[in-house]
Amino acid sequence: MGEKKETVPPEYDVNAKWDACIDLTTRRFVYSSLGGAFAGLLFFRSPVTRWASIAFGAGIGIGSAYTDCSRAFDTPPAIVAETSSVSQLQLFNVRLSRVIQQTVLTANVGSSRRVEKRMIKRQVSEPMRRSAGYSESHK
């Protein structure tokens, strides 16, 4: 009669997410398989390598669909519907600064290891030079 249907907000609708993910996976699987088939026909002569390129394309399609679907299911629904561009920019700057810090730390670790290796080589090679009778003037 006058039943009132409750609608679920899109961010909480798991059925809609599954439908979208199945659709996305199917489309990406088919399109990337066709792309692999075209590349196989264009670049390879052997049937085995052509099938391998189709399988590679299919794997890329499924992998990219899996990545997008996992993001859809893992992200919590937004508390605020609209975020300001300033907060998005601040978030980007924080992430960028973390990446830069990690890169600098990694570079410092790599250079300190190189310095340690040089020092170890010098420590090992100097006694060998002395025992062989080389002096500083022969360098």
Closest Cα partner for 24 from 55, 63, 75, 52? Answer: 63
Complete DSSP assignment for 57-115: HHHHHHHHHHHHHHHHHHSPPPSSS---HHHHHHHHHHHHHHHHHHHHHHHHHHHHHHH
Whole-number average pLDDT of the chain: 75
| Mean predicted confidence (pLDDT) in 107-118 | 62
Supply the pTM of this predicted model: 0.49
Closest Cα partner for 79 from 11, 8, 7? Answer: 11
Give per-residue pLDDT as tens, 53-66. 999 999 999 999 99
As given in the structure block, the two tokens for residue 41 are 């026909």
Distance CA 96, CA 103 (A): 11
Domain spans in the chain, listed from the N-terminal domain onward = 7-80, 83-139
